[in-house]
Structure formats: C-alpha cells, structure tokens
Amino acid sequence: MKKIDFPMLMLAILVILMFIGASIGISLQNIWMVIGLILLGFIFMGVGISIKQKRNK
C-alpha cells in the first residue's frame, strides 16, 4: 500500500473547495466572488501540476 502524499492531497482539496465556493458565489449572484474563486482554483491547480512535474523528473 502506497503512502498518502498529504501536501498534494490538501492542495487538491483546496482546489475543490475553490470551485465549490465559486458555485456558492453563482447562487448568491456575486460575480466578483465567482471570478476570484475560479482564478484561485486554476492557480492552485497549476501549482499542483507544476509540483508533480518537478517530482517526476
């Protein structure tokens, strides 16, 4: 059984929470909240992908 990579797991959970927050922003009709959380979600996702690429080299 492989060990769980907790920093990457927390980063993935953070990305999911950003997109859940964006959906809450949509329901509240707050465009700035939606834009901000979607941008943060994509930024955190990019950080996670870059970390994974650096580890695989």
pTM of the model: 0.86
Task: Please report the pLDDT score of residue 38 as a whole number.
Answer: 97
Into how many domains does the chain fold?
Answer: 1
Residue 45 has, within 13 A of its CA and on its CB side, a CA count of 11
Tokens encoding 40: 């943060």
- The answer to whether position 22 is within a domain reads yes
Structure tokens at 51: 């970390």
Q: What's the domain range around 41?
A: 6-56
Q: Would residue 1 count as lying in a domain? A: no
Q: Is 21 inside any structural domain? A: yes
Contacts of 52 (CB under 8 A, 6+ apart): 8
pLDDT tens digits, one per residue of 1-57: 789 889 999 999 999 999 999 999 999 999 999 999 999 999 999 999 999 999 988
CB-neighbour burial class of residue 37 (10 A; exposed 0-12, middle 13-18, buried 19+): buried
The whole-number pLDDT of residue 57 equals 82
Tokens of 11: 């980063």
